[in-house]
């Protein structure tokens, strides 16, 4: 019986020794990248380089971090990275580490800090301001675009030295309404970038002609509420007016709510979108205005629950 037990023990030992051992997980981290350095710096980008790490793994990569967070992957053998920098005059800190497919991570490299140069370059070329059309009560203007070396360009139109539309984006034409007949005005456009650098257009002088037409347009008809209306938006449709002097395309439509002027609507079109100025049931009418400032009678009234 004892001999049988010895034989069983020997067989069990042989079976255990013959069983394949599970592959041990690699827990060795890559070496730490060193000598992180800046190789180029512009207004809009920084180029980095570092000395390579090493590891026994075949599947591994570098992580470039900004302010010690995030990971922009760079696959070896590359040891360089160029990063866009979008904000002039800002400080950035970078570091690099290596990591393998098993999650083994090296230490961080040395950190490098860069500051992007302040943006002192204004947009160019300067806008060229032009007169499109002038009427007794309206002035239409347009201007050419400027471009910036970093970001967006904002346009401000001034009338007699007073800003009319501060900081409008991609806004290169306008029609000024409610201008007095037989008056003179000066206009200029200022193109400004996000850093406040600015370039000025030419100064344009415009004189409106006197108003000789005294006949108002016909009243708009068939005012209806568009099905797209939903408070606070009021979508309106109507039949356009006619005028003795102006073509239909020059007739302006003003919207009134509860008998009070609300806002200018469209020019030449029988539709517009306005916003509620009141709460609850609101009576809406539309009036037509010609370029001499003559105002028609009201359209039919509709009621909208604002």
Span 172-201, pLDDT tens digits:
889 999 999 999 999 999 999 988 999 999
Q: 200 and 274: one domain? A: no
Is 6 part of a structural domain of the chain? no
Q: 230 and 296: one domain? A: yes
Residue 86 binned pLDDT confidence (cut-offs 50, 70, 90): confident
Sign of CA dihedral 275, 279, 284, 287: negative
Is 121 part of a structural domain of the chain? no
Task: Write the DSSP assignment of the chain as a string of letters.
Answer: -HHHHHHHHHHHHHHHHHSPPPPPPP-PPPPPPEEEEEEEE-SSEEEEEEE----S-SSEEEEEEETTEEEEEE-TT--EEEEE--STT-EEEEEEEEEETT--B------EEEEPPP--PPPBSPP-EEEEEEETTEEEEEE---B-SSS-EEEEEEETTEESSTTEET--EEEE-SPPTT-EEEEEEEEEETT--EEE---EEEEPPP----PPPPPPEEEEE-TT-BTTEEEEEEEPP--SSS-GGG-EEEEEETTEEEEEEEES-SEEEEE-SSSSEEEEEEEEE-TT--B------EEEE-
**Higher per-residue pLDDT: 302 or 88:** 302
Q: 192 and 225: one domain? A: no
Total tally of structural domains belonging to the chain: 3
What was the pLDDT predicted at 24?
A: 60
Q: Is the pLDDT of residue 148 over 60?
A: yes
CA–CA distances in Å: residue 85 to residues 43, 44, 69: 7, 5, 16
Domain boundary among 181, 207, 233: 207
What was the pLDDT predicted at 138?
A: 97
What was the pLDDT predicted at 1?
A: 44
Is 296 part of a structural domain of the chain? yes
Q: Summarize pLDDT for 218-229 with one digit per residue, the tens.
A: 999 999 999 999
CA-to-CA distance for 243 and 294, rounded, in angstroms?
Answer: 10
Residue 167 binned pLDDT confidence (cut-offs 50, 70, 90): low
What was the pLDDT predicted at 99?
A: 97
Residue 165 binned pLDDT confidence (cut-offs 50, 70, 90): confident
Q: Is the pLDDT of residue 169 over 80?
A: no
Q: Summarize pLDDT for 13-33 with one digit per residue, the tens.
A: 443 444 444 456 778 999 999
Residue 11 binned pLDDT confidence (cut-offs 50, 70, 90): very low
**Higher per-residue pLDDT: 13 or 96:** 96
What was the pLDDT predicted at 23?
A: 52
Domain span including residue 99: 34-115
CA-to-CA distance for 289 and 252, rounded, in angstroms?
Answer: 5
pTM for this predicted structure = 0.71
Domain holding 173: CATH number? 2.60.40.10
Q: Which of 76, 44, 79, 42 is nearest to 61 (CA)?
A: 76
Residue 301 binned pLDDT confidence (cut-offs 50, 70, 90): very high
What residues have CB less than 8 Å from 218, skipping those under 6 apart?
A: 241, 242, 243, 288, 296
């Amino acid at each position: 019986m004892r001999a049988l037990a010895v034989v069983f023990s020997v067989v069990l030992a042989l079976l255990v020794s013959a069983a394949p051992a599970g592959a041990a997980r690699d827990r060795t981290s890559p070496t730490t990248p060193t000598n992180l350095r800046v190789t180029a710096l512009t207004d809009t980008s920084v180029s980095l380089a570092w000395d390579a790490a090493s590891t026994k793994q075949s599947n591994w990569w570098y992580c470039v971090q900004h302010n010690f967070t995030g990971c922009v992957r760079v696959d070896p053998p590359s040891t360089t990275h160029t990063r866009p920098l979008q904000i002039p005059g800002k400080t950035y800190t970078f570091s690099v580490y290596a990591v393998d497919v098993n999650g083994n991570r090296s230490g961080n490299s040395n950190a490098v800090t860069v500051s992007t140069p302040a943006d002192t370059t204004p947009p160019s070329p300067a806008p060229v301001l032009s007169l499109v059309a002038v009427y007794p009560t309206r002035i239409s203007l347009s201007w050419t675009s400027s471009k910036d070396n970093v970001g967006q360009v904002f346009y401000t139109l001034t009338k007699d030295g007073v800003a009319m539309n501060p900081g409008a984006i991609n806004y290169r034409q306008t029609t000024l309404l409610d201008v007095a007949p037989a008056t003179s005005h000066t206009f200029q456009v200022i193109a400004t970038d996000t850093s406040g650098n600015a370039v000025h257009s030419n100064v344009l002088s415009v004189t409106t002609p006197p108003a000789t037409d005294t006949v108002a347009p016909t009243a708009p008809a068939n005012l209806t509420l568009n099905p797209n209306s939903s408070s606070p938006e009021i979508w309106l449709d109507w039949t356009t007016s006619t005028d003795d002097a102006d073509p239909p395309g020059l007739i302006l439509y003003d919207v009134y709510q509860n008998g009070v002027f609300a806002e200018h609507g469209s020019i030449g079109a029988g539709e517009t979108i306005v916003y509620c100025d009141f709460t609850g049931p609101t009576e809406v009418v539309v009036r037509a205005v010609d370029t001499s400032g003559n105002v028609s009678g009201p359209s039919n009234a509709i009621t909208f629950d604002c």
